[in-house]
Amino acid sequence: MRDKINIRQEGNSDINSIRYVTEAAFKNAEHSSHTEHWIVDALRRNNQLSISLVAELDGNIVGHVAISPVSMSAGADDWYGLGPISILPEHQGKGIGSELVREALSELKVRHAQGCVVLGDPNYYGRFGFKVHEGLFYPGVPPEYFQALSFQGRIPIGEVSYHDSFHATE
């Protein structure tokens, strides 16, 4: 049994810890550009960090999730992308990532978002309701790795793009 995790919005004094957690989480990750910590910084700098939640354990930040707006070629508004999501390696597999995802999705619903997409392992994200939807795609990745969850029942078709911050290299 682990201690209770506190999930809360990021504050100004959390920025260095978030960078550290993100870099450490992805260091040995199978699918990683190793730029995820820069992506989070760039999203914040460009006012694209719609939701940024930290998971705190005993006052230390051990996890983080970012949510940012995505563009749909079909023109649908109010769609978001989940990620990067990061849990410090020594705290992975204890349910902290799941708590962060659930909290971020419920915050999106409160904001009346249309839905959320995610690029990642289908075995992991399927448990939150994400599914592959034929016709909604992200170029360059196997289709099963790109999933969407609609809060309003409609899934747009076409191509999804993330903000340019996802190309950040420093």
Torsion of CA 85, 90, 92, 94, to 10 degrees: -130
CB of 97 to ligand COA, least distance (A): 2
Q: Are 49 and 68 in contact (CB under 8 A)?
A: yes
In the complex, what is the shortest distance from the CB of residue 112 to ligand COA, in angstroms, rounded to a whole number? 25
Site string (27-56) toward ligand COA, x via CB under 6 A: --x---------------------------
Q: Is 92 in the site for ligand COA (CB under 6 A)?
A: yes
Nearest-10 Cα torsion for 161, 72, 157, 133: 50
DSSP state of 144: G
How many residues make contact with ligand COA (CB under 6 A)?
18
Q: Which of residues 94-133 bind ligand COA (CB under 6 A)?
A: 94-98, 120-121, 123-124
Binding site for ligand COA (CB under 6 A): 25-26, 29, 83, 85-87, 92-98, 120-121, 123-124
